[in-house]
Amino acid sequence: MDSSKYDLLFIGSGPGGYVGAIRAAQLGIKVAVVERAELGGVCLNWGCIPTKALLKSAEVVETIRRGKEFGVPTTDFTIDFEGIISRSRAVAKRVSMGVAYLFKKHKIPVIEGTARFLSPHEVAVGDAAGAETHRIEAANTIVATGGRARSIPGIEIDGHTVIGYRQAMTLDKLPESMVVIGAGAIGMEFAYFYNSLGTKITIIEMLDTVLPIEDPEISKVVARVYKKHKMKLLTKHSVSSVVPGPDGVTVTVTDKKGVEKTITGQKALMAIGVRGNIENLGLEEIGINCERSFITVDKSYKTSVDGVFAIGDVIGPPLLAHVASHEAILCVERIAGREPDPMNYDAIPGCTFCHPQVGSVGFSEAAAIEKGFDVKVGRFQFMGVGKAVAAGERDGMVKLIFDGASDRLIGGHIVGPEAAELVGELEIAVAAGLTWKEIGHAIHSHPTLHEAIMEAALDAGGRAIHA
């Protein structure tokens, strides 16, 4: 059994662990990482990256189907589902290899196995059989174990008929029908992917709208487009049972009036959220406080035990890879004795890579009003943007929320073409406190999609040109 000492140990090599380890190495900290699976964690191997590869394939399929619209009629084509899945896995592998290269470049040792705290400053690492292979002493440890799919109590994700996001990325055969339980980002992305390939989709959401954390105006646009693509949306419906059978699955739901109905499909995808990976780490034994599957931390990401920190999905929402990365950097820099500016959790962008795409940052209109802001709202439809019309992407809009007292941007919401890229401008504008005049009077190149942002800003001041 190997025994080593480090200044800092990361448990988990996802977008929090690997980014934080690299930053630690840059600062001259002796750092190591424990990882039980692939480098890069869920995000690079089973989340953000491979799903975007799948969604690109869906986009290609949809473009081919629309070929006649662009003067390139396609009379016949086939979908190689196995090839689509294979490409996604290859993309994930390539990105994971990139993390391995960065670790080698920065001389960061990776200890393979499952970590468990023996004390606040000592961690044992075991192999798949449970045998201890390493014992590590660390002055500080950062838990970055991420999260996994959550299920409805009493309903098991069996990996065959009732599946989670991992199985949804690696099915060996395209299902004829699928019931998607949960209309958040994960559910809506997979619904779009499988619908594009020909699977009959039913989406069930307990809350009032799909993408319930988004501004309702944005969610309504996505719902309208999904219905146009023949997807069935059951909002305000709760799931009471999911029963696998020999030919598929039967899902029983109840609407707001208490009326019960059943939906059948070959597969049911559980996409209701994420729980933190806190089990079998020895957290309770050393006195680390947890609540509802997430580790409790303070503003410096310290746990209830000195020398132990936690970042990323394992500490709870917002459950985003870029949040984990930034939290890791801030945590490492504080351990190194620096005083970095704290993260502004009101200026974190979120993206959903369905079609149309959604990107948002800051407050929704309702949340801003609830916070006491006297809001000023600007809107602009993509149908008024020449580049969007030329690209055949007229669905969607930009909605900007300004503080009426100061004219500062406090919320930005986009649904439409390249929304996940366009929201970057709004992220900077919210963080910098830019006003509608500053955004609207900045020269936006033509013809581009981001002219919609300029027009929405001007609309907030009653000055939109193309409205």
Tell me the C-alpha distance between 418 and 416, whole Å.
Answer: 6
| Rounded Cα distance, 308 and 278, in Å | 14
For the chain, the maximum distance between any two Cα atoms, rounded to a whole number of angstroms, is: 71
Strand 110-112 relative to strand 114-119, pairing:
unpaired
Q: Let me know: does 10 contact 25? Beta carbons within 8 Å.
A: no
Residue listed under structure tokens 């393979």: 112
Our answer to whether residue 229 is catalytic in this structure is no
Say if residues 204 and 180 touch (Cβ distance below 8 Å). yes
Query: H-type helices in 106-229, by residue range?
Result: 165-168, 185-197, 216-228
Can you tell me whether residue 309 is helix, strand or coil? strand
Angle between helices 419-432 and 451-460 (to 10 degrees): 50
Contact 269, 178 (CB under 8 A): yes
Distance set, CA 325 to CA 43, 84, 234 (Å): 11, 29, 35
| Rounded distance between C-alpha atoms, residue 354 and residue 356, angstroms | 6
| Sign of the dihedral through C-alpha 305, 308, 313, 318 | positive
Q: In whole angstroms, what is the distance from residue 392 CA to residue 390 CA? A: 5
Alpha carbon distance 55, 62 (integer Å): 10
Determine the 3-state secondary structure of 455 from DSSP: helix
Can you tell me which residue has the tokens 């081919």? Answer: 64
- Residue 6: phi and psi, rounded to 5, are -140, 155
Task: Choose among 464, 410, 412, 419: nearest CA to 441.
Answer: 464
SS (H, E, C) 122-152: EEEEECCCCCEEEEEEEEEEEECCCEEECCC
d(Cα 202, Cα 384) in Å, to the nearest integer? 32
Catalytic residue among 441, 446, 450, 466: 446
* SS3 at position 410: strand
Q: Of 100, 123, 102, 98, nearest to 113 (Cα)?
A: 123
Which amino acid belongs to residue 193?
Answer: F
The answer to whether 34 touches 111, Cβ cutoff 8 Å, is yes
Catalytic center residues: 446
